[in-house]
Amino acid sequence: MDGGSLADFMKKVKTIPEPYLAAICKQVLKGLWYLHHEKHIIHRDLKLSNLLINHRGDVKITDFGVSAVLENTSGLANTFVGQFPNSPPQGEKGWVNVYELMETIVDQPAPCAPSDQFSPQFCSFISSCVQKVSNYRLSANELMRHPFITMYNDQDVDLGSYFAAAGPPLATL
């Protein structure tokens, strides 16, 4: 991953336009779904510095140091780990990494994004992710079908060019 972390990228660009946010979120949601359903893993420390990017526009989840392996995909972990500001409410569930993702993307306290700076679809997406009651929070799979994610066509959003336009990475791996 030759572009460094998304945290490094954010230091350069400060804000990310919504079409690119949607594309980044979509890749992270797919990764979270794969980790939970195929590998039975809860990441438990999802943050910008644990998302790596490259010149092709790929976004990958890294740093599994505090992750947990689930016995099944119903998804409750028996232990609590993580930073309190980024920790989802109501304990750990396999898909609550979505809560951490949204706190990371918005980079401000839950539960809502400023409605005067973001589209209604984005605000709805954030609201869907940061519900305090876990039963009301959408899973990664459900969020991939959210209007904020589906309103942008993948072919119209070139993350590779967007990442490259910010200049050389601060850190390369």
CA 92, 97, 103 angle in degrees (round to 5)?
115
45 is catalytic: yes
Q: Please tell me which residue in 45, 58, 63, 107 is annotated as part of the active site.
A: 45
CA separation for the pair 39, 18 (Å, rounded): 30
Render the burial of 46-55: b for 16+ CB within 10 Å, e for the rest. bbebbbbbbe
Structure tokens at 14: 């400060």
Strand partners, 93: 76
Q: Whose CA is closest to 171, among 52, 63, 60?
A: 52
Residues identified as active-site: 45
